[in-house]
Structure 1
Amino acid sequence: MTYQRPPQAIADLVNLKPDPLMLFGPDPDYIVIADRPMYPSIEELKEPKVKLAGRQINPDTFTPYGTRGFHNPRLRQLSTGTDRELQGLPEEGAYRYFTWSPDGTQIAFCLVTDHGLQLWTASRTSLQCRPVGEADINNSLGGVPYDFIGSDRFLIKRRISGATKPERTTSITGPAVQDSSGKEGANRTYTNLLENEYDVALFRYFATGQLWMHRLDTGEERAWAEPGIIAGLGDSPDGNYFVITYVQEPFSFNVPYDKFSDKVQLLDKEGYVVRELAQRPTVEHLPPAFGAVITEPRRFSWRSDHPAQLYWTEALDGGDPRTEVDHREQLYYLEAPFTGAPQPSIKLPLRFGALRWGRGDLAIAIDWDWTTRRQVTRRWYPDTPERTPEILFDHNWEDNYNDPGSVITVSLPSDHSVLLTRDEGQTLVMVGNGHSPDGPRPFIDALSLETGEKSRLWESSPPYFERPLFFVDQDPNYFLLAREQSNERPNFYLHHLLNGDEVRVTNFPHPYPQLQHTQYELVSYDRQDGVQLSGELHTPEGFRPGVDAPLPILMWAYPQEYKDADKAGQVTSSTHQFRRISPLSPLPFLAAGYAVFDDFAMPIVGEGDDEPNETFIEQVRMNAEAAVQKLVGMGVADPARVFVGGHSYGAFMTAHLLAHTELFAGGIARSGAFNRTLTPFGFQAEERTFWQVPETYVRLSPFVHADKIDSPLLLIHGADDSNSGTYPVQSKRMFAALDNLGKTARLCLLPYEDHGYAAEESILHMLWEMHSWMEQHSTGKPTDQASTTESLATLP
């Protein structure tokens, strides 16, 4: 079969020009702008790749597979409203990893070439660009492969000069053998792992790099630190010390590289070892519980308001959150010259989450607990760690209506972040979503450290939906504001917090004027047991519910687990928000005359000691029944033409709904998992293993219930899906079951595609499959078509 295209009205929504990259510099008057790439072609997805240690690497370029660049980079000056193009660049070049120097005088970025990444720089004044070395950067493990050290030097990760790619031997010297350790643990179902000694040699070749220190003024470059597989690097605020993490051998065949054994070292500014901080084993046998961690030192980070003070944490509960202890974490620190014993700092009762630095008497620590969904924000005193931290907020993260928001930070010239304060340091600034039964109204609050009282500094006001994105480092009275309406796409402004002055940054037009006047409504309703639900209803322009004939409708959802029924029904979307139409969403079908019920609530509640998955089937059925009843009662949905679909966990949900209800004319399941015995060490929010609750894993496998599926089911899957637990075999085996049971089903395997689909041909064909499937099965009558056995796995 060849690639197909959906009706033109749907196809027109695929290749809309995306918003450009915008990168603010230290001077808020200047922004780097670059055009985002459109969808790649299927030919681009056919680029070579090797699958090693949980990564997909392009062997020709030493970059992550699928690396694509931005185009047409330019500098925008807000005060004049002018754009200037960067000079001296290759025609039609593609670029990634744009960065400003700390003083805002230089712009750095990588040119994407057929042989790899090449670092370039440009002066902000002249915009004349020049390369920094050859296209020999090693970016195999991802991340930004260079860093400004001050404003006059770079550290660049390059390939090992003269290294030879290992050759695959044709002779067989023996079997591949693995021994168990005798230790209990629970690893999720990882993909693209190392399988043999050739894979080991290949990963070593592609992942090993050498750091080079490059001077901008002279162009001089010298090797810095030892070569190795570098998994992390961070400099102290004074620039005199670095923490570096090296992955070590032997490598594991059971987990991806970020769980391999490693060593953490402290280096001086010349790249020499000052102190070894940790030697950590491969992480293969953590306790089988959310929040389980290693017992060795972890989460190394520099204190932002100190020249060179290094922090980390260690578990006090053996890394097992099931252990009853008064404190789970102990923070330690060392400071220059790093010769003494580690000093204890504060202890945390819950699992360590994050640190936010301010000054000697002000820092924020966040700790959390999975079982209770609890997150605690504490004020503490770094210079007097014996002082008991004070709780600022103790919050259940499922409770959106009472979310206090998050503290705001700004960057220092050292490129380290500190808390944004006002009133001579006595007031913190917080940003939150402002969720309520009427929808979210994002806000900025001031929190008094003396009284603990909050006051509102700014709030989004209808008919607009506005979001503060970040505060300007050099003038934190200004913040970047995104403003939108239901029929007006987001545009960006620099907004003054105190006097309301604004500078408009963008002026994007409506991206799809042909759908500008489609109708949107946030629909609320209750399910059978009283849990409040809602969903986003979209109908074609001019449609009148209860007057016009009901429409075919596509319902799209993704299940979410909760521990509290009241919180499961909270509203988190606004009728004032712009509805962006992604081709991977269900919204393109508005152009074909369908109604769409998007993101309709699919909570799975397990209160107290009850696990949500014990009643997953019953709850998804109640959710769907309540939604369909509401839509039919409104006169929106034709009950004979109601379709349901979802991606990933939503596909899993879809198969269950077809097996356990008779509500739907058909279903669409994209990139799903249907046999839970293939993910035996947990999935989604399920902590228990198959061997603890085998009956739950079996009952929750739609594959087991395939004989109950009587409505037509379309299965779509990326042929190279690397997502944990959703191997393409999941859809293949589900289709084989349906086919042999005489059910109506179709399997579409999209060549070269991963868990999400990227190529223009794939996306257009996916939309054609979905539209054709719904049109074919919209009669409401049993289909005469036999189960189709056509698979698209043989597409070129």
Structure 2
Amino acid sequence: MKSLFRLFAFLCLTNVFAQQNLTYQQPSEEILELADVELAPGGQIDSKGENMILIYRNQYKSIAELSETELRLAGLRINPVTNIGSRTTYYTNLKVKKTEDKDATQVSGLPDDARLSSFRWSPDETMVAFLNTTSKGVEVWVLDIANAKAKKLTDATVNANMGSSLNWLKDNRNLLVKMLPSDRKPLIDTDTAVPAGPTISESDGEKAQNRTYQDLLKTPNDEFNFEQLARSELKKVSINGAVESFLPADMYRGVNISPNGNFIMITTIKRPFSYLVTYSRFPSESTIYTTEGTKVKTVNEVPLDEVRPKGFMATRTGKRNMTWRDDQPSTLVWAEALDQGDPEIEVEYRDAVYEVKAPFTATPKLILKTKQRFRGISWGDDKTAIAYDYWWNTRNTKTYLFNPSNASDVKIITDRSYQDVYSDPGSFVRSKNEFGEYTLTMNGSKLYLMGDGYSKEGQFPFIDEYNVKSGKTKRLYQSKYTDKLENLNSALDMKKGEVLVRIESPSEYPNYYIRNINKKNDLKAITAFENPFKSLENVNKRVINYKRDDGLDLEGTLYLPLNYEEGKKYPMILWAYPREYKDKSSASQSTTNPNEFVYPSWGSPIYWVTKGYVVLDDAAFPIVGEGSEEPNDSFRTQLVANGKAAIDAVDNLGLVDRNKVAVGGHSYGAFMTANLLSHSNMYAAGIARSGAYNRTLTPFGFQSEERSYWDAPEVYYNMSPFMHADKMKTPLLLIHGVADNNSGTYPLQSERYFNALKGLGAPVRLVMLPKESHGYRAKESIMHTLWEQDQWLEKHVKNRVIEEETTDSED
């Protein structure tokens, strides 16, 4: 009898813990109607606002596409058959239109079963080059805008594995293209190859504290395959289809043509490779060539960048960020660290910027020093340029107005927290110069700024005029919409006052217009995309503002169920993503616009308004650490307080059944979800997608935490849901892509967390999506994910059986 009982118990346990071999499922009709729609095309417009390309694509890839051969090497994911990134987004059709015309013209001559990518406008903007991927490889095509005709220029011999493979020369007649080398050797099948010996890594005692990168090289066979896939021959391809050799085979990473078109800076990758960092930190060499392929000078040699000082603001020594100066014919500029790249060394200036003119033999000239880490320059002319720096630890950024001809003529014109959106002065407007490069739009001593316009009163995008002599600004235009959102896309002609804008509302699909800010109500529509999400047109959407227990102002976007009845309480979905701040003032600012179009992307919780749920999306979850305190020192306490404030706010509106609240998030939002379920009992269930749950597996920093595990072990322990799996009793749905490539969120995180929860008796379900990365792409995967979430919510939230009263508390 005892043996029979043991057999019965074993069979029951086997059934409980058995794997489920489930085929891909589809969500309910209400969700499917929103998830499986044909998207409006994307648009690219020329700098003058005269011609526009409409680019069409399928909303999703197929699981068959994701199942094509893929090699993961040094941070790259490559299809070795077609020689292009295996996760490339492809477009299927093109149309062109004059912005003044109502209808677009179908582009003729496109290939059958088109898979288009890498669109590049010619310098004179009369043509667009692009790639087409076939089953055998990648071809170069070109589109003649005026005639709306496309034609193929090359066979399927392009190497698009790394960096840009298409670069227009300034003559508007030729492109430099990376092509497959004639001497490429067959790749090694690393699954079947017999190893010649062990793989050995060694430390000489020098610290190398790097993030937990994925897709790194692991063996000599990986090194061999990476080199073969990275090698290209550079060819000159004319718009008539003629192909001629330019440079022999090498591992070409970057091709950068001077503004006047006379020189080309070409960067190549060198050995030794690394098993610790991705290819962007492998040794490299930058060399200047003429447009005929004659070597002029090697201008930069960068060693392997494996070892850096500690901290987010650490950088390597030597020349970095080398590029051409946009306002001059052929002048190189770059930055160098003045603090040995070490943020712990106290210096007056962190970085210096130098330049050297062609023929690149003169002593480099110092043109600027920055107090913090150099970020970039917007060029104007010989006397006017704008530079930027930043410092992570204080969230500070400075803007410099400086004279490139006089290194002592420098003025800091803004000094602010880059998290303080209310004080954001906007970005300086740029336009094409005589070289076809984008430089500051200048009108004598006047520059122009274009900003998002966030404020306590709402969002009102603006354009300002800035006087470089007086330092004063003058408001030229400010959007006055209170029921729509007007985004200022780009300035087309500041003298005429013509600006490209995008206007939308919760039920009005975003469309593009040309606005003349010098003329009242002068607005010309250039697109008329229809709303593909008709069933959400009448959804009740609002931004709610509320306070945390410590008085911090918070907000979230609230959606009511489509079948909403006043006075009735509904199940609720709370969806969020935590963000770290160094001051409460910035953390409390409102950046949510109630007039944004209601767009249910694949990862959105908005679908469930069709199923009778209240949804609080993008709820504010700030984690604040002021002064010497780091945000994560009180991460759990603030996390729980944020969640409680959000639920209280919706409850105070009389909308939610507090016993039926779900919480969910993706990536760091998944990490948030697991923590909330572990340390509070406010939730009926949780959904955590593609998260990290054990921070000791990312010991040299994660997200915004730059301290290592050994600097702050208690922070790593307290923040890790895995360490508190014994406290987790709330139903949790874990979803993860098997091929996740995001730093720190490798699939092992979900697998080990699931095993811990299962071993401790927590109600948990783990869904591993084949072939998927950090964001999901295949239609089959996304539809199944929606089905899983819907089933989980129906079972554990909407139809939850209350066994005992819940209370709001932190464990």
TM range (shorter): over 0.9
Query: 2:697 and 2:459 mapped to 1: Cα distance?
Result: 39
Q: Deviations over 1:79-120 (max 9, x none)?
A: 333422222232332322222222233232212211222111
2:300 counterpart of 1:278: yes
Give 1:398 deviation, angstroms.
Answer: 1.3
Q: Secondary structure at the match of 1:739?
A: helix
Contact 2:563 2:612 in 1 (8 A): no
Matches within 5 A, 1:464-543: 464-472=484-492, 477-500=497-520, 501-541=522-562, 543=564
The equivalent residue for 2:283 is 261
Q: 1:144 to 1:447 in 2, by over 3 A?
A: farther
Give 1:655 deviation, angstroms.
Answer: 0.6
Q: Which moved more, 1:29-38 or 1:301-310?
A: 29-38
Give 1:37 deviation, angstroms.
Answer: 2.1
Query: 1:560 and 1:298 mapped to 2: Cα distance?
Result: 30
Q: Aligned to 2:405, which of 364, 383, 397? A: 383
Q: Which moved more, 1:225-234 or 1:770-779?
A: 225-234
Q: Secondary structure at the match of 1:509?
A: coil
Give 1:8 deviation, angstroms.
Answer: 0.6
Q: Deviations over 1:639-671 (max 9, x none)?
A: 110000100000111011011101000111110
Q: Deviations over 1:430-487 (max 9, x none)?
A: 1111111232111111111122111111112222210111122697632210011222
Q: Which moved more, 1:2-11 or 1:556-565?
A: 2-11
The equivalent residue for 1:249 is 271
2:482 counterpart of 1:459: no
Matches within 5 A, 1:143-542: 143-168=164-189, 170-216=193-239, 219-385=241-407, 387-412=408-433, 414-422=435-443, 425-461=444-480, 462-472=482-492, 477-500=497-520, 501-541=522-562
Query: 2:700 and 2:499 mapped to 1: Cα distance?
Result: 44
Structure 1 unaligned residues grouped into runs of 5+ = 785-796
Amino acid aligned to 1:558: Y
Give 1:761 deviation, angstroms.
Answer: 1.2
Query: 1:439 and 1:448 mapped to 2: Cα distance?
Result: 27
Contact 1:64 1:142 in 2 (8 A): no
2:110 counterpart of 1:59: no
Matches within 5 A, 1:525-674: 525-541=546-562, 543-544=564-565, 547-674=566-693
Q: Secondary structure at the match of 1:203?
A: helix
The equivalent residue for 1:793 is none
Q: Aligned to 1:30, which of 24, 48, 51? A: 51
Amino acid aligned to 2:714: E
Q: Which moved more, 1:281-290 or 1:472-481?
A: 472-481
Query: 2:750 and 2:150 mapped to 1: Cα distance?
Result: 49
Q: Deviations over 1:310-357 (max 9, x none)?
A: 100100001012211011111111101222222222111111011000
The equivalent residue for 1:794 is none
Contact 2:75 2:215 in 1 (8 A): yes
The equivalent residue for 1:746 is 765
Q: Secondary structure at the match of 1:206?
A: helix
Query: 1:582 and 1:226 mapped to 2: Cα distance?
Result: 45
Query: 2:27 and 2:461 mapped to 1: Cα distance?
Result: 38
Contact 1:26 1:103 in 2 (8 A): no
Q: Deviations over 1:491-529 (max 9, x none)?
A: 110112312533211112222121111111111111111
Amino acid aligned to 1:30: N
Q: Secondary structure at the match of 2:459?
A: coil
Contact 1:96 1:109 in 2 (8 A): yes
Query: 1:675 and 1:300 mapped to 2: Cα distance?
Result: 38
The equivalent residue for 2:144 is 123
Contact 1:103 1:413 in 2 (8 A): no
Amino acid aligned to 2:221: Y
Query: 2:677 and 2:239 mapped to 1: Cα distance?
Result: 63
Q: Deviations over 1:682-729 (max 9, x none)?
A: 001101011111222112110011111111111011111111100111
Query: 2:650 and 2:525 mapped to 1: Cα distance?
Result: 41
Give 1:273 deviation, angstroms.
Answer: 2.1
Q: Secondary structure at the match of 2:784?
A: helix
Q: Secondary structure at the match of 1:205?
A: helix
Give 1:238 deviation, angstroms.
Answer: 0.8
2:726 counterpart of 1:703: no
2:747 counterpart of 1:728: yes
Query: 2:414 and 2:471 mapped to 1: Cα distance?
Result: 10
2:700 counterpart of 1:678: no
Query: 1:68 and 1:267 mapped to 2: Cα distance?
Result: 32
Amino acid aligned to 1:762: S
Q: Percent identity?
A: 37
Amino acid aligned to 1:506: T
Give 1:633 deviation, angstroms.
Answer: 2.0
Q: 1:263 to 1:513 in 2, by over 3 A?
A: same
Q: Deviations over 1:747-767 (max 9, x none)?
A: 111111111111111111111
Give 1:620 deviation, angstroms.
Answer: 0.1
Contact 1:412 1:473 in 2 (8 A): no
Give 1:610 deviation, angstroms.
Answer: 0.3
Contact 2:428 2:440 in 1 (8 A): yes
Contact 1:225 1:272 in 2 (8 A): no
Q: 1:138 to 1:475 in 2, by over 3 A?
A: farther
Aligned length: 778
Structure 2 unaligned residues grouped into runs of 5+ = 1-21, 805-811
Query: 1:124 and 1:654 mapped to 2: Cα distance?
Result: 49
Query: 1:110 and 1:58 mapped to 2: Cα distance?
Result: 15
Q: 1:299 to 1:473 in 2, by over 3 A?
A: farther
Query: 1:623 and 1:129 mapped to 2: Cα distance?
Result: 54
Q: Secondary structure at the match of 1:359?
A: coil
TM-score (norm 2): 0.93
Query: 1:520 and 1:445 mapped to 2: Cα distance?
Result: 32
Q: Which moved more, 1:728-737 or 1:494-503?
A: 494-503
Q: Aligned to 1:42, which of 58, 63, 79? A: 63
Query: 1:783 and 1:41 mapped to 2: Cα distance?
Result: 43
The equivalent residue for 2:26 is 5
The equivalent residue for 2:5 is none
Give 1:782 deviation, angstroms.
Answer: 5.7
Contact 2:691 2:750 in 1 (8 A): yes
TM-score (norm 1): 0.95
Amino acid aligned to 1:534: E
Query: 2:165 and 2:516 mapped to 1: Cα distance?
Result: 32
Contact 1:78 1:503 in 2 (8 A): no
Query: 1:167 and 1:486 mapped to 2: Cα distance?
Result: 53
Amino acid aligned to 1:213: K
Query: 2:534 and 2:449 mapped to 1: Cα distance?
Result: 36
Q: Secondary structure at the match of 2:458?
A: coil
2:707 counterpart of 1:688: yes
Amino acid aligned to 1:172: P
Q: 1:27 to 1:529 in 2, by over 3 A?
A: closer
Query: 2:699 and 2:243 mapped to 1: Cα distance?
Result: 50
Q: Which moved more, 1:220-229 or 1:6-15?
A: 220-229
Moved over 4 A (4+): 473-476
Q: Secondary structure at the match of 2:678?
A: helix
